Amino acid sequence: MGIAARNAGLTAVQATVTSLLINASAGQYVGFTLMAARAGLLEIALMESVANARYLLMSCALSQKLPPDTPLWQRMILGFDVTDEIFGVSISVEGKLDPFYTYGAMTASIPGWALGTFLGVVLGNALPVSLVSALGVGLYGMFMAVFIPAARKNRVVLGLVALSFLLSWLFSAIPAFAAISSGFQIILLTVVLSLGAAILFPVKEEDDAA
């Protein structure tokens, strides 16, 4: 993530502050990518909303785990750092969730996340250009590792991945689409493909009795 921030032109301090305020790998990476593409603030805000929409569902699920008398300010602190990892360890707690259990996880994850980004920027400035480029490609590999297993098991996901590659190429090849900024291209493809998939291939809820 630090190398992605460096490629976007951020300093080590700027990248570290960003990581302290945005503890979301996908959201942070999308932000850095759009910055590197010189996207506007509106484009970044829209794409961040799309990329982080799943945290609304995670927050709703966690709210059901909290004791009813949990104060609003404690709920707001929890909502600040609902990441995939924090959600995973918190939702797995048996019974009601003590907010301070999640606070402990946040205390370890937030500094660690920011430190990793800081080191990425600093080491990215010290490492050879060839190695930095290789690590940058490795970041794409990490994100591919997220959807490849699902694509192998589900033909719908596989088709959507292939379609996204094709449409992305068409947007860059067709002059009428090439005039659209890369930031809005990402937003359009994300919204259209995800909405189309949700309508045409809805996920069936499992029977509670199963």
pTM of the prediction? Answer: 0.59
* pLDDT on residue 206: 46
Any alpha helices (H) in 66-202, and if so which ranges? Answer: 72-80, 84-91, 99-126, 129-153, 155-173, 175-178, 182-200
Listed in sequence order, the residues at least 6 apart from 181 whose beta carbon sits closer than 8 Å to its beta carbon are: 37, 39, 40, 43
pLDDT in tens, the chain (210 residues): 787 788 788 888 998 998 888 887 777 888 888 888 888 888 888 878 877 777 887 888 888 889 989 999 999 998 888 887 888 888 888 889 899 999 999 998 889 888 988 988 888 767 777 776 776 676 667 667 767 887 888 888 889 889 988 988 888 888 877 777 666 777 778 778 888 888 888 766 544 444
DSSP SS3 for 60: helix
Relative orientation angle of helices 155-173 and 129-153, to the nearest 10 degrees: 130
* Contact in structure between 17 and 48 (CB atoms under 8 Å): no
Sign, CA torsion 186/139/5/172: negative
The CB density around residue 135, as the number of other CB atoms within 10 Å, is: 16
Listed in sequence order, the residues at least 6 apart from 36 whose beta carbon sits closer than 8 Å to its beta carbon are: 4, 7, 8, 9
Query: What is the distance between the alpha carbons of residues 85 and 67, in angstroms, rounded to a whole number?
Result: 21
Give the single-character DSSP code of 207.
P
Predicted confidence (pLDDT) per residue in 26-47, tens digit? 778 888 888 888 888 888 888 7
* pLDDT on residue 210: 43
Residue with tokens 């998939």, as numbered in its chain: 197
